[in-house]
């Protein structure tokens, strides 16, 4: 299998990432429990058993409790730290932390630096392998962001940097001020959320005028060897068990095709959904956020599945609700 951009940039990451949003119990300020730690240990072990060595966090996941329970497991097995890749994100300030009646974004230098200190403390580690800027802050000063990145790199607290949910233009703006390369862009990408594909398919087409996904982002990341990471990669199970929750006939039809392919290839439906993303030549790295060991194992089968171009287009056409123009 061709190396993905992250591997080409010297980060020997697994093809799949485990998203840690589900860890930490309830989303509240109550202390973590032994049961929360036990569940995190089970989830981590399930991921490690199928070859996943990369774990995705954010400081706001369960209001910091996801990182806390993950750190508790690391303290139980100190040797594990050097064999895994830990990525976290900052830049969102939830109202529970600010006392404001609303959530906001914050790329101020002081907030980035303080956030990383908090992340490291909760995880109980000395450095992050990768830090992502979580959501674009419209008030960001690129010089401030660059200063924060330089300080984190110089101190050894963060080794590599990336972004999340950003367009090509936003990345270019930040990169023009930063000496450190951004090597990741994490976006919502799945068989259901296909704006990233439609932006290319509908160039010079009337139907493309209402697209939100910024044209050229996918191509820019490929040109700059930036790893595209797909959050929401399983579309919340829409095609692997939860189709009945949708009233969209496209979801039902696509879920049926996924099931047919999974039977033909003797694999799990989750593996088909992820293999569809991984077929794309950009080398997309799916993030799986499930907390169920059996679903993690099912997702792991994706690395052994190869879809034909006809099968890929069949799934795409079904999902979009019509053949390409």
Catalytic positions? 61
What letter does residue 26 receive in the DSSP assignment?
A: S
Residue 24 and residue 65 in contact, taking contact as beta carbons nearer than 8 Å = yes
**Residue 19: both structure tokens together:** 């998203």
Residue 262 and residue 15 in contact, taking contact as beta carbons nearer than 8 Å = no
Characterize 286-297 residue by residue with b for buried, 16 or more Cβ atoms within 10 angstroms of its Cβ, and e for exposed.
Answer: bbbbbbeeebbb
Q: Tell me the CA end-to-end span of the chain in Å, nearest whole number.
A: 31
Alpha helices, DSSP H, located in the chain:
5-8, 34-49, 65-76, 95-98, 109-123, 142-155, 168-175, 195-201, 217-223, 249-264, 269-278, 293-300, 309-320
């Amino acid at each position: 299998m061709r190396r993905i951009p992250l591997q080409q940039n010297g980060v020997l990451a697994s093809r799949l990432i485990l998203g840690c949003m589900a860890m930490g119990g309830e989303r509240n300020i109550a202390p973590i429990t032994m049961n929360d730690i036990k569940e995190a240990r089970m989830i981590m072990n399930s991921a490690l058993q199928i070859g996943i060595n990369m774990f995705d966090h954010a400081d706001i996941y369960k209001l910091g409790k996801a990182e806390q329970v993950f750190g508790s497991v690391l303290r139980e097995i100190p040797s594990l730290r050097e064999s895994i890749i830990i990525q976290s994100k900052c830049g969102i300030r939830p109202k529970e932390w600010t006392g404001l009646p609303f959530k906001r974004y914050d790329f101020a230098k002081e907030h980035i630096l303080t956030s990383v200190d908090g992340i490291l403390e909760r995880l109980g580690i000395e450095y992050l392998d990768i830090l992502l800027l979580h959501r674009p802050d419209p008030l960001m000063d690129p010089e401030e962001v660059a200063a924060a990145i330089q300080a984190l790199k110089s101190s050894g607290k963060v080794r590599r940097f990336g972004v999340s949910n950003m367009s090509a233009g936003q990345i270019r703006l930040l990169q023009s001020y930063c000496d450190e390369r951004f090597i990741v862009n994490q976006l919502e990408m799945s068989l259901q959320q296909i704006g990233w594909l439609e932006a290319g398919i509908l160039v010079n087409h009337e139907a493309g005028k209402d697209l939100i996904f910024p044209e050229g982002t996918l191509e820019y990341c490929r040109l700059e060897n930036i790893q595209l990471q797909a959050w929401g990669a399983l579309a919340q199970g829409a095609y692997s068990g939860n189709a009945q929750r949708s009233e969209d006939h496209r979801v039902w039809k696509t879920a049926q095709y996924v099931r047919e392919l999974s039977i033909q290839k003797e694999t799990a439906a989750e593996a088909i959904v992820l293999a569809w993303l991984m077929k794309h030549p950009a080398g997309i790295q799916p993030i799986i956020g499930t907390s169920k060991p059996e679903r993690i194992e099912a997702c792991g089968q994706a690395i052994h599945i190869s879809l034909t171009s006809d099968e890929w287009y069949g799934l795409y056409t079904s999902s979009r609700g019509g053949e390409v123009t």
